Amino acid sequence: MSTFLGMPTARGGPAARGASDPDAAPDTLAGVGRPDDPLHWGASFPDAARAALDNGQLRRNLGNATRTIRTKRARVVGEVPDWEALRDAGSALKTDVMARLPELLEELERNVTARGGVVHWARDAAEANRIVADLVRAKETDEVVKVKSMATQEIGLNEALAEEGIAAVETDLAELIVQLADDMPSHILVPAIHRNRTEIRDIFLERMADAPPDLTDVPRELAMAARAHLRRKFLSAKVAISGANFAVADTGTLAVVESEGNGRMCLTLPETLITVMGIEKLVPTFDDLEVFLQLLPRSSTGERMNPYTSMWTGVTPGDGPQEFHLVLLDNGRTKVLADEVGRAALHCIRCSACLNVCPVYERVGGHAYGSVYPGPIGAILTPQLTGSTSDLPYASTLCGACYEVCPVKIDIPSILVELRAREVELGDASPDAADRVWQAAMKAASFAMADGGRFRRAARVPRLLRAISRNGVIRRLPFPGSLWTRSRDLMEPPRQTFRDWWAGREDRR
Amino acid sequence: MRIALAATCIADAMFPQAPRAVVTLLERLGHEVVFPPTQACCGQMHVNTGYLADAVPVVGNHVRTFAPVADGEWDAVVVPSGSCTGSIRHQQRMVLERAGLDAEARTATAVAERTYELSELLVDVLGVTDVGAWFPHRVTYHPTCHSLRMLGVGDKPERLLRAVEGLELVPLEQAEGCCGFGGTFSLKNADTSAAMLDDKVATVVDTGAEVLTAGDWSCLMHIGGGLSRDGTGVRPMHLAEILASTRESPSVPGAPADGPSAHREAAR
């Protein structure tokens, strides 16, 4: 067997097929821009969500895409008889890793070093970016190829390298689309899920210098155009940068799973490989991979197995990169680890199953979360990593669909409630106007609802609304009731509460 | 059995037809129903909004009220709500422990172990699926998130509905999708909540059902409010109201909550 490493042919299919809308305004291609802080950008969640909801096309695209992945996932998970046992095993392994992370990290460092790799420790984004930039500059190159990586998105590595005059080329198809459009990813697995194929065609034509001028929006043509563009990069790059899905402490092995083969190219062709990895990505032993390599693809892409699994251990003379650097990234993780309740968020293996089942994510998309980590996992991870006040813990109905599908059983709803409690405590310390309204309402409700006698009287109050009801419903209420009646009627309260009826019934006996 | 009823604050104040139907139903099945009058609320709203300190007295009152079930005074506590049962089972202990009230937390656990959502009580504890009900209407069922995922009621509500004489149960597309209520979520993220509601209303209308039922009046208040706003004519009714309905004393879709045609006590 041999791997084809020459230049693929980019052209395919008749050019007229699927011709684009000539009226499409080019400025709609522009993405949201690259923010200063990839973990905290944009408007508040409710405001950003409102803007996204107004985009009917986006809602249809997201609805179709998430429904398709959900269905695929459910099918391949359903065929595994011991799926729940696998989830338990994944959860137990991650709990164990978190319990002895310092010793496992040092074990990993020893084994990577023994096999010819170099380990670097980075406290935060700035340190990690500095380490990578220095390593690239030492190789005297101004272009690097990249494997899709959430850790490098989180630290804004591409922008940091650009400031040093180094171009980082994303080679995952969807990441390439996002990068070309000066956009941000909106999904952990499918970063360009918010784009449709016509937009992608337009982005390629406008932003990818070697795109065929008669490119159509047929998916195969788009993929072939990107393939030709990227092949040139793979063959010329001296340095590649990757993330890691797993690192095995007892062997020093790193693993990347992917679908397109771009990762394999990056991990094998260049002379130097730099891997940036969050410190939570460890597994204790090589055998533990058997659990995660079953859990991840089924949860993530809805496949029984991902097409490419690349593993490497240090440096192998004469085979693959001859220089390997591993950058271990903290960037807030030890702070999360110190938190008894919140630390379970570090168990995440970035499968994105929780995004695909989340009814909120499905409606508003990823950008509304203002973080490279959107959806339910983002709502518990982002505020903990940044340590700052956030409205993300409230971006959920607590419906529990995320917990149900999580391959490592992270109880996301419970952590959301815990983080809400912390937001309330922060609000108590320095309340704004909205905090004061909520505080007063909750205090009053607590008083009324902590005693049967007080509640008997309080429960009679809603009946006053009967004065403004028509045909059994109330169609309009003043603020804050308007938040409800803007979109739905309120049913007319009863003349008699249940407990008053019960008391009367007891009296009649 | 001697069964204590936790009516839930929202049904007590806004939808008394549901706990009244529970009384009718359980008495028809030969059980004694008790309503401990010191009860008010399980604390779920405070907990899920993050006001854990304000939740403590509310949760404490619930646990004190229903503590006798742990001593055998009653055989079980029944709640006509999946989300309140979920909060009682999965949150009350945490709230009390966090406040350092360990003895109360232990009592909360003991109460929770004897607390059941209506379909759980009927199917698991009382062992009945045919409750002798008659309800000649076309009905679709929305499995509420907490009954489905926090409690795992599975198909118990549907088994109960299928055994109702005259009832035609029609399936709901995307049934397991959240309706967007989420308690204070519907106010804090009103637009997203409304978008979710739109989709739920559309799937309910597509069924051609006359009645939408569920085990939670909170979700029914939300979806029902959307069904009413859109003038769909589909009526929300709690599972208990359907199961309480008989030829002699039928529940009528769209009847006022406490009007003459709402569900009354069984003739005694």
pLDDT tens digits, one per residue of A245-289: 999 999 999 999 999 999 999 999 999 999 999 999 999 999 999
The sheet carrying A308-313 orders its strands as A282-283, A246-248, A253-258, A308-313
Q: Tell me which residue in B13, B178, B221 faces A399 most closely, judged by beta carbons.
A: B178
Residue A399 has a CB neighbour count (10 Å cut-off) of 29
Beta strands per DSSP E along A20-65? none
Q: In chain A, what residues touch B238 (CB-CB under 8 Å)?
A: none
Q: What average pLDDT score do residues B137-141 get?
A: 98
Q: Are residues B119 and B17 in the same domain?
A: yes
Q: Are residues B121 and B144 in the same domain?
A: no
Interchain proximity A398–B221, CB inside 8 Å: no
User: B130 lies in a domain?
Assistant: no
| Residue whose structure tokens are 């080329």 | A169
Mutation target to probe the A interface, by most A beta carbons within 10 A, among B178, B181, B201, B241 is B178
Of B57, B90, B125, the one marking the end of a domain is: B125
B110 CB-contact burial (10 Å; exposed 0-12 / middle 13-18 / buried 19+): middle
Q: Which residues of chain A have pLDDT under 50?
A: 1, 11-26
Tokens linked to A274: 């730099």
> Is the predicted ipTM greater than 0.90, yes or no?
yes
Q: What is the pLDDT of residue B265?
A: 44
Q: Give the number of domains in chain B.
A: 2
User: B227 lies in a domain?
Assistant: yes
- Residue B254: which pLDDT band, with cuts at 50, 70 and 90? confident
pLDDT at residue B134 greater than cutoff 70 = yes
Domains of chain A from N-terminus onward:
31-333 (3.40.50.10420), 450-508 (no CATH)
pLDDT at residue B71 greater than cutoff 90 = yes
Interchain proximity B145–A397, CB inside 8 Å: yes
CA distance A3 to A8: 12
> Do A437 and A395 meet the contact criterion of CB atoms below 8 Å apart?
no
Q: Are residues B6 and B108 in the same domain?
A: yes
Interchain proximity B43–A421, CB inside 8 Å: no
Q: What is the pLDDT of residue B3?
A: 98
CATH number of the domain where residue B178 is located: 3.40.50
Residue A498 to chain B, least CA–CA distance (Å): 5
User: B192 lies in a domain?
Assistant: yes
Q: List the domain range (segments joined by +) for residue B145.
A: 138-244
Q: In chain B, what residues touch A499 (CB-CB under 8 Å)?
A: 7, 12, 35, 37
Mutation target to probe the A interface, by most A beta carbons within 10 A, among B54, B216, B237 is B54
Tokens linked to A155: 């630290």
Q: Tell me which residue in B19, B37, B221 faces A491 most closely, judged by beta carbons.
A: B221
CA distance B189 to B193: 6
User: B225 lies in a domain?
Assistant: yes
Q: What is the pLDDT of residue B258?
A: 61
Q: What is the pLDDT of residue A480?
A: 86
Q: Tell me which residue in A363, A400, A443 faces B54 most closely, judged by beta carbons.
A: A443
Q: Are residues B96 and B151 in the same domain?
A: no
User: B174 lies in a domain?
Assistant: yes
DSSP string, A116-169: T-EEEEESSHHHHHHHHHHHHHHTT-SEEEE---HHHHHTTHHHHHHHTT-EEE
Residue A82 has a CB neighbour count (10 Å cut-off) of 10
Q: Tell me which residue in B50, B185, B193 faces A424 most closely, judged by beta carbons.
A: B50
> Do B138 and B216 meet the contact criterion of CB atoms below 8 Å apart?
no
Q: In chain B, what residues touch A401 (CB-CB under 8 Å)?
A: 145, 149, 176, 178
Q: What is the pLDDT of residue A28?
A: 62
Residue B35 to chain A, least CA–CA distance (Å): 8
Q: Are residues B82 and B143 in the same domain?
A: no
CA distance A184 to A371: 9
Q: What is the pLDDT of residue A4?
A: 59
User: B252 lies in a domain?
Assistant: no
Q: What average pLDDT score do residues B55-68 get?
A: 98
Q: What is the pLDDT of residue A89?
A: 98
SS3 A285: coil
Q: In chain A, what residues touch B46 (CB-CB under 8 Å)?
A: 442, 445-446
Instruction: Give this prediction's pTM.
Output: 0.94
How much is the mean pLDDT over chain B? 95
Q: Which of A185, A172, A225 is nearest to A203 (CA)?
A: A225
SS3 A423: helix
Q: Are residues B57 and B88 in the same domain?
A: yes
> Do A179 and A170 meet the contact criterion of CB atoms below 8 Å apart?
yes
Q: Which of A271, A263, A386, A272 is nearest to A325 (CA)?
A: A272
Q: Are residues B120 and B170 in the same domain?
A: no
Interchain proximity A363–B192, CB inside 8 Å: yes
CA distance A174 to A181: 11
SS3 A422: helix
Residue A415 to chain B, least CA–CA distance (Å): 11
Q: Are residues B188 and B234 in the same domain?
A: yes
CA distance B86 to B147: 7
User: B78 lies in a domain?
Assistant: yes
| Residue whose structure tokens are 């742990």 | B70
Residue A97 to chain B, least CA–CA distance (Å): 25
Q: Are residues B8 and B118 in the same domain?
A: yes
3-state secondary structure B17-53: HHHHHHHHHHHHCCCEEECCCCCCCCCHHHHHHCCHH
Q: What average pLDDT score do residues B20-42 get?
A: 98
User: B256 lies in a domain?
Assistant: no
Q: Are residues B176 and B237 in the same domain?
A: yes
- Residue B255: which pLDDT band, with cuts at 50, 70 and 90? confident
Count how many residues are written for chain B: 268
Residue A425, amino acid: E
Nearest CA in chain B to A51: B191
| Residue whose structure tokens are 């956009």 | A183
CA distance B171 to B169: 7
Q: Are residues B180 and B106 in the same domain?
A: no
Sequence-ordered alpha helix ranges (H) in chain B: 9-13, 17-28, 44-49, 52-66, 82-90, 92-98, 102-113, 118-120, 145, 156-162, 185-188, 190-206, 217-229, 239-244
Q: What is the pLDDT of residue A295?
A: 98
Q: Are residues B191 and B83 in the same domain?
A: no
Q: How far is CA B88 from each of CA B6, B17, B49, B57, B67, rounded to the nearest angstrom?
A: 11, 22, 16, 14, 12
